[in-house]
Structure 1
Amino acid sequence: MNRRRCAAAAITVVCAVTLLAAPGQAFAAPSSLLAPASIAAPAAPAAPEPAPPAPPKKTLEEIRVELDGLYARAASATDAYNLAEEQAKKQSAEIVELAREIVKGQDRIADLKDRAGAAARAQYRGGGLPPEAQLMLTDDPQLFLDSAGRFQQGQKATKDLIAELEQTQADLAAYTKEAGAQWTRLEANRVRQEKAKKEINQQIAAAKKIESQLEKEERERLLKLEEEAAYRAQTAWLSSGVLKNIAAGSASKQGRKAIAFATAQIGKPYVWGAEGPGSYDCSGLTSQAWAAAGRGIPRTSQEQWRLLPRVDIKDMRPGDLIIYHADASHVGMYVGDGAIVHAPRPGRHVTLAGAGSMAILGVVRPDK
C-alpha cells in the first residue's frame, strides 16, 4: 500500500515537471518567486536625429539674378495678357458689329417676305390666275400691249425680289457663322488672359516674398547691385563704339511729341497691364506716347517688334523703340545720347536708363 502511494506521488511529480518543461507552454510564476534580476529595465529614450544643416544663405548678387528671372517671366506673361486683352477687345467689337448686321438682315428678310406676300395677295384678288394667263385672255390689243410691258416688269421685279431674298438669307447665315467663330476666339482669349494673369501674379508674389525677407540695408544694397549691373552693360555697349556708328539723325516731328509725352511720365509707377495716366507698363508707355503723337501702334512689345518697320541700330534716331530680350518682352523709347525712357518692372518707376543696359533685340520705327 505504501509502495502504491509512493509510486502515485512519483508519477504526479514527473507529470508536473514534464508540463513545466513542455515547449510553447507559459505559466505565470508567483511574484514572490521572481528574482530581482529578472525585472526588465525601462528602455532609454531614443536620441533625437540631428536637424539637417541649413542651406547656405544666398548672396545678394544671386538674389538679384533670381529676381531678374522672376520679373522677366512676369514681363513675358504681361505681354501675353496685354495681347489677349487687345484681341478680346477687337473681337468684342466685331461681335457687336456682326450682331447689328444680323438684325439688319433679319429686318430686310421680313420686308422682302412682306413684299412677296403682297404680290401673292394681288394675284389672288385677280381671280387666282397668274398674270400671263390673264394677259392671254384679254381681247383688247392696247390693253394687251400695256399688260405685256407690265408683265415683263413684274417678272423682273419678282426675280429681283427672290434673288435679293436669297442673298440676304445667305449673308445672314454668314454673319451668324462668323459671329459664332468670333465668340469662340473671344472665349479662348479670355482663357489665355486668365492663365497669363495667374502667371504674372505668381512671379511677382515670389519676387516680393524674396524682397520682403531682406533687411532695409540689404534692399538698398540690392538696388545698388542692379544699378551696377546696368552700368556695366551700358559701359560695354558704349565701349563697342556703337554711338559713333549711329547716324546723328534728329527725331521726326511726331517723334519729338512722343518723346515729350514719355519723358513727362518719369516718376510714375510701373503697374503691369497699365497704360496711363497714373501708371504704365513698358509697352503701355510707348504705345500711349506714340498715340499722343498721333500715331497708333500695337499695344505690346512683342507686337511692336513683329509689326512695326525695323531699322538698323546704326540708323536709330530719337523716338525709335528699342526692343529687348530674345522674347521681345521689354521695350523702351530712345531719346538720344545713348539713353532710353522706359517703365522697368514692378516696384520701379518710369525712368531714364542706358539704352545698352539690357540685351537689345532690335529697333523699330513707328513713323517710318
Structure 2
Amino acid sequence: MATGKRGLIATAVTVVCAVTLLAAPGPAFASPGPGPAPSAGTTLAPGKDLEAVRDRLDKLYRAAARATDEYNAAEEKADRQSAQIAELAEKIVKGKERLARLKNRAGAAAAAQYRGGGLPPEAHLMLSDDPQEFLDRAGRVRQGQHAAKGLLGELARAQQDLEQYAKDASAQWKKLEAGRKAKATAQKKIEKQIAQAEKLESELRKEDQERLAELEKEAAHKAQTAWLDSGILDEITGKASAQGKKAVAYATAQIDKPYRWAAEGPKSYDCSGLTSQAWISAGRGIPRTSQEQWKRLRHIDVRDMRPGDLIIYFDDASHVAMYVGDGAIVHAPRPGRTVTLAGAGSMPILGVVRPDADAHADADADGG
C-alpha cells in the first residue's frame, strides 16, 4: 500500500482519541460593544423608553437562542461523525488484520508450489510410474489453481475495502473539522448577543431593572390571558401517556435550575436541552434542538395536545417548552433566568409536536 494511504489509515485509527478534543468548549470570544444603551445611573422615562429596552433585550436573547440551536445542531452532527469515524477506524484495523492473513495464505501457497518444483503437469506424467497417481495429483493441482485465483481475488477486494475505509475516514474527518468551525462561529454569535444583553441590563438603574421585569411579566400575562380568553383550554382535554408522565415529572423536577446555553443538565439547561433530556429520561430519544424537534416530530393540533407534548414558539422555532397541563408549560426561558412554569400562551405559538405519537394516553393519567 502507498505511503499516503498508510498515512490515511493511521489518521483514521487515531481519530477516536482526537475527536474528544473537538467536543471541548471553544475559546471565549471578545464581544463587540452593544448598540446605544442608557448610560449607568440614568433614570429612563416611564413607558416608551423602557419598552424599547425590553424590545431590544428580547431581540438579543432571541438571536442568542437561534445561535444556540446552530451550536447544538453542529455538536449533534459532530457526535454522529465521531461515531462514524470510530466505526471506520475499527473496520480499518480489522481490514489490515484480514489483509495480513490473506497475504500469509498466499505466501504459503507460493512456497508449496516452489517445493513442488513448479513443473508442468506433462512433466509430472512422464516422471510418474502410476498414471492413476498422476490423475489424482492433476485434480489436486486444478483445485489448487482455482483456490489460488480465489485467494488473489479476495486479496484484491480486501485491499480495495481498506483503501475505501481510509477515504471515508478522511472525508468524515473533514466534515468534523467543518463542524468544529460551525460550532465556533455559533459560539461567537451566542456570546456576542448575551454580552450585549447583559451589558444593556447592567446599565439600568435598579428601579428600571425592576420595572423592566414587571413589563416582561405584564406582557406574558397579557398574551396568556388572550390565549385563555379564546376558550382554547376548554378544548384541550388530552391525557398524558405513561412516557409523557415520566417526561413531565423529569422536567418539573428541574424547576429553579439555571438556564445555560448548550446545557443538557443535570445542573443547568437550555430550552431544548431540558425537553430532550426529559424525554430521554422517559425512554425516548428525540432531536436535540428546537428546530429539529419541530421538523422531525409529529405535529399535533393545539386543541389535541396532552401533557408531555412540546410547544414550539416563534416563527423560527427558536424556543421550545413542555406542556404540563392546565394551560401551563415548563421551560428554560433564557440566560439570567431559571427553569420555571409559565403560561402556554405567553409567547407566540408556532405549533405543537408529540415525541410519542405512537403511544396511547395512559388510563391513569391526569387530564391536561
Provide TM-score, normalisation by structure 1.
Answer: 0.81
Please state if 1:312 is matched with 2:301.
yes
Deviation, 1:166, is 1.6
Q: 2:328 aligns with which of 339, 342, 345?
A: 339
Deviation, 1:129, is 2.6
Structure 1 counterpart SS, 2:352:
strand
Match for residue 170 of structure 2?
180
Match for residue 76 of structure 1?
66
After superposition, the C-alpha distances for 1:202-227 in whole angstroms (9 at most, x for unaligned) are: 00000000100112221111111111
Deviation, 1:171, is 1.2
Deviation, 1:133, is 5.1
Contact in 1 for aligned 2:310/2:352 (Cα 8 Å)? yes
Deviation, 1:139, is 4.4
Distance in 1 between the 2:191 and 2:125 partners?
83
- Paired residue type of 1:112: L
Structure 2 counterpart SS, 1:59:
helix
Match for residue 113 of structure 2?
123
**Taking structure 1 as reference, are residues 174 and 60 closer, same or farther at Cα in structure 2, changes over 3 Å only?**
same
Deviation, 1:145, is 3.4
Q: How does 1:98-247 map to 2 (within 5 A)?
A: 98-129=88-119, 132=121, 136-137=125-126, 138-246=128-236
After superposition, the C-alpha distances for 1:223-256 in whole angstroms (9 at most, x for unaligned) are: 111111111111111222222333x121000000
Runs of 4+ in 1 over 3 A off after TM superposition: 54-58, 132-139
Rg larger in structure: 1
Match for residue 262 of structure 1?
251
Structure 1 counterpart SS, 2:311:
strand
Match for residue 44 of structure 1?
none
Match for residue 7 of structure 1?
none
- Paired residue type of 2:103: K
Distance in 1 between the 2:310 and 2:273 partners?
13
Contact in 1 for aligned 2:125/2:131 (Cα 8 Å)? no
Greater shift in the superposed pair: 287-296 or 216-225: 216-225
Match for residue 20 of structure 1?
none
After superposition, the C-alpha distances for 1:155-208 in whole angstroms (9 at most, x for unaligned) are: 332122122112111211211111111111101111110000000000000000
Q: 2:267 aligns with which of 278, 292, 297?
A: 278
- Paired residue type of 1:217: E
**Taking structure 1 as reference, are residues 329 and 136 closer, same or farther at Cα in structure 2, changes over 3 Å only?**
farther
Distance in 2 between the 1:205 and 1:149 partners?
83
Deviation, 1:338, is 1.0
**Taking structure 1 as reference, are residues 359 and 128 closer, same or farther at Cα in structure 2, changes over 3 Å only?**
same
Aligned-residue RMSD, C-alpha: 1.8
Structure 2 counterpart SS, 1:302:
helix
Distance in 2 between the 1:86 and 1:323 partners?
20
Structure 2: stretches of 5+ with no match in the other structure: 1-38, 358-368
**Taking structure 1 as reference, are residues 349 and 128 closer, same or farther at Cα in structure 2, changes over 3 Å only?**
same
Match for residue 289 of structure 2?
300
Distance in 2 between the 1:92 and 1:134 partners?
60
Distance in 2 between the 1:325 and 1:141 partners?
91
Provide TM-score, normalisation by structure 2.
Answer: 0.81
**Taking structure 1 as reference, are residues 60 and 135 closer, same or farther at Cα in structure 2, changes over 3 Å only?**
farther
After superposition, the C-alpha distances for 1:279-309 in whole angstroms (9 at most, x for unaligned) are: 0000000010001001111111111111111
Deviation, 1:362, is 1.1
Greater shift in the superposed pair: 218-227 or 69-78: 218-227
